[in-house]
Amino acid sequence: MQVFISMLLAVFIFSPVWPLGTNPLPGDPFVIVNKKTNEVALINENRVQTVVSAATGKTDDLTPEGLFTVTVKAPDPYYRKKNIPGGDPKNPLGSRWIGFDAENTDGRTYGIHGTKDPSSIGRKVSEGCVRMQNEAVESLYDFIPLGTKILITSSSKSFIQLGQEHGAISGKN
């Protein structure tokens, strides 16, 4: 079943009739990062499934805003800036990497990832990525397939309002 869903998602991703800026169908996974509140919401099956605290960029410009696509996923990611293998206790990326194509990158520059410093969660401390506690990113990892849309914003709107505006939640909720 998961293979079928992945194939169906791929058809929608590469379809020329898919309108840019929205998910293919309400109910598909959709992630919203709100830099104003330092929270991440997973929207799935037409509703907000969970909201967790996160850390974002030290300055507003470090974590880019916009609608992006998950292009890379990795358990125990390698930290290339300092040549630290995945799983190493010194690795600042924690236990999971969910990379997206912000600023025309390939998903290996910007991502949602775990952290070796849980005290950083809820603050503006990163170099641009979105940090979550390892347990939180591990719990979301399997629910965010390649091709999932990620909205990063600084907004006073609720996750429901943002999900409705971007087609992840139908207006009937």
Backbone angles phi, psi at 28, to 5 degrees: -75, 155
Residue type, position 85, single letter: P
What is the pairing mode between strands 124-126 and 56-57?
Answer: parallel
Catalytic residue status for 128: no
d(CA 35, CA 54): 9
The catalytically annotated residue of 73, 96, 113, 166 is: 113
The catalytically annotated residue of 93, 98, 129, 162 is: 129
Range list of H helices, 57-171: 134-141, 159-165
Catalytic residue status for 15: no
Q: How many CB atoms lie within 10 A of CB 150?
A: 25
- List the one residue out of 138, 92, 137 whose CA is nearest residue 116: 92
Q: How many CB atoms lie within 10 A of CB 22?
A: 16
Q: Which residues are catalytic?
A: 113, 129
